[in-house]
């Protein structure tokens, strides 16, 4: 092994300790704190019981329900769309969000049949949702806001 | 006996990992641009800054956000090619940190790019452009160094491996901390697979029909839960030797494949295998390809 340039060990030791120390620090907070890129990695850790999920749904003139894809709610990312609806419900802005989404639905020719939207909180038990032949109906349903699709 | 931290490695190995990591970063920034940049148009009331973005009290003006993304793209391309590496790599890593954190500063924290950003930050301070780079091509003495086997090339790879291991151990600890031993009976895992798929269905997105099907057979989730937790909490074993490192990397890769199949969640960085490159010898793949092309 030739040695073209010496390795300075001390900076690497300090840097390594700082990086690993920073990574494990969120775990020692009470409660543990999630952030980025330093995280306590809470995904899939908590017990998931029955819960409400906030969604935007559309209805055609016959009253048939149509699901509204994430890209019309926030962006292509389903989690960002979920958070957008949840935040709107929590902050009492369900009606505002409904109208924003309605404008996007109106501009989407593939959803020309949808005449109105609702922001709903739908209550499901994840353990029974897939027990039947198709997706289950909500166990409870709260209507948080509604609006017409401008045509 | 091999040293634990200051392990020797060829300069070309570190260079190969540089190409893979900054190549992935560039692909993520460009390929995912529509999603990453869409947050620049989100309403200000949704702004919930975390990490380095906590320095801000209000969202960035759109042109500035776009400019930072542009800097990240250009610097990542330069770091990938090993051009002006001492400047390009830190700029790329910091800009990537900013862009990824900004994307998670709107109420939803994503956990898919943590390792990518941490690995890029380590590569930014490592001599990863002493081989297979424009800098080395321009500087013969640097190129000669890049052919050496030395701890200055191995220590960065070792730290990257330790970061990977730490992330998975933390994920395992989080499960035991939040749910305790109950996590091991598989019921919690089943509830997550079901919840994630039902959420996707209800939100009008693609879900995993395979995951939905397995929700009717709860008995499969016990072994899956045990395997997941063993892989996560057993991650430090991967640091004990190259074979264990490769074995664990394959196990965790298979775990992510399972997550993709059952939940339609793609952790792309681990799924490509690049997250585990510090445990492997990617320069040998290039050597093999070169050998084959010479024979042909």
A61 to chain B, any CB pair closer than 8 A? The answer is: no
Average pLDDT, chain A: 91
Decide if pLDDT at B2 tops 80.
no
- Scanning B106-165 for CB atoms below 8 A from A yields 106-111, 113-114, 117-118, 121-122, 125, 127, 141, 144-145, 148-152, 155, 159, 162-163
Place of tokens 């080395």: B136
Enter the pTM of the model: 0.91
Q: Is any Cβ of chain A less than 8 angstroms from the Cβ of B246?
A: no
Closest residue to B182, CB basis, from A16, A47, A84: A47
Among A16, A41, A89, the residue to mutate for chain B (most B Cβ within 10 A): A41
Rounded CA separation B257/A55 (Å) = 28
Domains identified in chain A, total number: 2
- For B231-288, the pLDDT digits (tens) are 999 999 999 999 999 999 999 999 999 999 999 999 999 999 999 999 999 999 988 8
* A27 → closest Cβ in B45, B173, B200: B173
For residue A4, pLDDT beyond 70: no
Mutate to test the interface with A, among B187, B202, B224, B228 (most CBs of A within 10 A): B202
How many Cβ pairs within 8 Å bridge chains A and B? 206
State the Cα–Cα distance between residues B259 and B208, nearest whole angstrom.
Answer: 10
The pLDDT-based confidence of A31 (bands split at 50, 70, 90) is confident
Using CB atoms, which residue from A35, A36, A130 is nearest to B215? A130
- Taking phi over 0 as left and psi of -120 to 50 as alpha, with beta for the rest, A6 belongs to beta
CB interface of A with B, residues 34-53, below 8 Å = 34-49, 51, 53
Q: How confident is the model at residue B180 (pLDDT cuts 50, 70, 90)?
A: confident
Measure Cα distances from B44 to A80, A86, B229 in Å: 15, 16, 39
Average pLDDT of span B146-174: 96
Distance between CA atoms of residues B235 and B228, nearest Å? 11
Longest dimension (CA), chain B: 63
Residues making up chain B, counted from first to last: 296
Which ipTM value was assigned to this complex? 0.92
Task: Report yes or no on A70 lying in a domain.
Answer: yes
Query: Which residue's entry shows tokens 């081989």?
Result: B131
A36 and A56: one domain? no
Same domain, A80 and A23: no
Q: Look at residue A1 and tell me if it is in a domain.
A: no
- If asked whether residues A84 and A27 sit together in one domain, one would say no
Q: Tokens at residue B199, please?
A: 């959420």
Contacts of A42 in chain B (CB under 8 A): 174, 178
Domain assignment present for residue A31? The answer is: yes
- Three-class secondary structure assignment of chain B: CCCCCCCCEEHHHHHHHHHHHHHHHHHHHHHCHHHHHHHHHCCHHHCECCHHHHHCCCCCCHHHHHHHHHHHHHHHHHHHHCCCHHHHHHHHHHHHHHHHHHHCCECCCCCCCHHHHHHHHHHHCCCCCCCCCHHHHHCHHHHHHHCCEEHHHHHHHHHHHHHHHHHHHHHHHHHHHHHHHHHHHCHHHHHHHHHHHHHHHHCCCCCCHHHHHHCCCHHHHHHHHHHHHHHHHCHHHHHCCHHHHHHHHHHHHHHHHHHHHHHCCCCHHHHCCHHHHHHCCHHHHHHHHHHHHHHC
Out of B100, B108, B152, whose CB is closest to A5? B152
Using 50, 70 and 90 to split pLDDT, how confident is the model at A1? very low
Taking only the tens place, the pLDDT of each residue in B62-107 is: 999 999 999 999 999 999 999 999 999 999 999 999 999 999 999 8
Whether residue A66 is found in the same domain as residue A94: yes
Q: 10 Å Cβ neighbour count for B31?
A: 12
Instruction: Give the pLDDT score at A27.
Output: 87
Rounded Cα distance between B2 and B151, Å, is: 11
| B185 in contact with A, Cβ within 8 Å | no
The mean per-residue pLDDT over the stretch B151-177 comes to 96
- B256 close contact with A: CB closer than 8 A: no
Q: Does B99 touch chain A (CB under 8 A)?
A: no
Say if residue A23 is in the same domain as residue A75. Answer: no
Same domain, yes or no: A23 and A82: no
Residues A56, A40 share a domain: no
Tell me the mean pLDDT in the region B178-198: 92
Whole-angstrom Cα distance, residue A130 to residue A73?
A: 25
Using one digit for the tens of pLDDT, what is the confidence trace for B201-232? 999 999 999 999 999 999 999 999 999 999 99
A26 part of a folded domain: yes
Asked whether residue A18 falls in the same domain as residue A41, the answer is yes
Domain shared by A113 and A75, yes or no = yes
Put simply, the answer to whether A126 touches B194 (Cβ < 8 Å) is: yes
d(CA A60, CA B20): 49
Token pair 């074979």 is at which residue? B243
Does A3 fall in a domain?
no
Contacts of B175 in chain A (CB under 8 A): 44-45
Residue-number span of the structural domain to which A90 is assigned? 51-148
pLDDT-based confidence at A5, cuts 50/70/90?
low
List residues bridging with B10 in a β-sheet.
Answer: B149
Instruction: Please report, for chain A, how many H helices and E strands are present, in that order.
Output: 5, 4
Nearest to B167 among A15, A41, A81 (CB): A41
Using a CB-CB cut-off of 8 Å, the residues of chain B touching A134 are: none
CA angle B111, B236, B245 (to 5 degrees): 90
State the Cα–Cα distance between residues B160 and B154, nearest whole angstrom.
10
Give the contacts of B240 (CB within 8 A, at least 6 positions apart).
Answer: none
Same domain, A38 and A87: no
Q: Which residues from chain A sit within 8 angstroms of residue B148, using beta carbons?
A: 1-4
Determine which of A23-32, A80-89, A93-102, B47-56 has the lowest per-residue pLDDT on average.
Answer: A23-32
DSSP A91: T
Task: Indicate whether A3 pLDDT > 60.
Answer: no
Dihedrals phi, psi of A53, to nearest 5 degrees = -125, 130
Same domain for A69 and A128: yes
Query: Tokens in use for A106?
Result: 């109106």
pLDDT band at B13 (very low <50, low <70, confident <90, very high): very high
Whether the CB-CB separation of B146 and B130 falls below 8 Å is answered with yes
> Same domain, yes or no, for A31 and A89?
no
The pair of three-digit structure tokens given for residue B193, joined into one six-digit string: 């697979």
Mean pLDDT, rounded, of chain B? 95
């Amino acid at each position: 092994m030739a040695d073209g340039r010496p390795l300075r060990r001390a900076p690497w030791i300090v840097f390594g300790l700082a990086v690993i120390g920073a990574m494990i620090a969120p775990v020692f907070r009470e409660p543990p704190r999630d952030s980025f890129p330093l995280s306590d990695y809470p995904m899939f850790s908590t017990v998931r019981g029955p819960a409400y999920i906030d969604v935007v749904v559309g209805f055609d003139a016959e009253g048939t329900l149509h699901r509204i894809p994430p890209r019309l709610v926030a962006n292509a990312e389903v989690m960002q769309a979920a958070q957008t609806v949840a935040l709107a419900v929590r902050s009492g802005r369900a009606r505002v969000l409904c109208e924003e989404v309605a404008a996007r639905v109106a501009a989407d020719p593939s959803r020309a049949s949808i005449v109105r939207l609702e922001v709903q909180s739908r209550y499901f038990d994840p353990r029974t949702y897939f027990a039947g032949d198709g997706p289950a109906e909500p166990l409870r349903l709260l209507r948080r806001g509604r609006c017409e699709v401008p045509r | 006996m091999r040293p634990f931290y200051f392990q020797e490695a060829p300069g070309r190995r570190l260079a190969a990992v540089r190409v893979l990591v900054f190549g992935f970063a560039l692909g993520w920034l460009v390929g995912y641009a529509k999603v990453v940049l869409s947050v620049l148009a989100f309403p200000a009331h949704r702004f919930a800054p975390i990490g380095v973005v906590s320095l801000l009290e209000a969202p960035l003006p759109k042109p500035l956000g776009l400019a930072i993304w542009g800097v990240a793209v250009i610097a990542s391309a330069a770091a990938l090619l090993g051009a002006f590496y001492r400047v390009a790599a830190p700029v790329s890593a910091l800009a990537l940190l900013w862009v990824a954190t900004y994307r998670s500063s709107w109420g939803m924290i994503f956990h898919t790019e943590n390792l990518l950003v941490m690995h890029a930050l380590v590569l930014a301070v490592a001599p990863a452009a002493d081989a297979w780079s424009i800098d080395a091509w321009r500087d013969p003495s640097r190129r000669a160094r890049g052919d050496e086997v030395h701890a200055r090339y191995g220590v960065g790879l070792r730290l990257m491996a330790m970061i990977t291991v730490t992330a998975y151990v933390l994920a395992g600890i989080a499960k035991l901390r939040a749910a305790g031993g109950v996590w091991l009976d598989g019921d919690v895992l089943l509830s997550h697979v079901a919840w994630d798929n039902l959420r996707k269905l209800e939100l009008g997105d693609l879900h995993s029909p395979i995951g939905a099907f397995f929700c009717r057979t709860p008995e499969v989730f016990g072994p899956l839960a045990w395997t997941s937790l063993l892989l996560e909490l057993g991650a430090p074993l991967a640091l004990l030797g190259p074979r264990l490192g490769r074995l664990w990397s394959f196990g965790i890769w298979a775990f992510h494949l399972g997550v993709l199949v059952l939940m339609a969640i793609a952790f792309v960085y681990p799924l490509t295998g690049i997250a585990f490159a510090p445990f492997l010898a990617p320069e040998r793949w290039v050597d093999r390809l070169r050998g084959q092309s010479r024979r042909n």
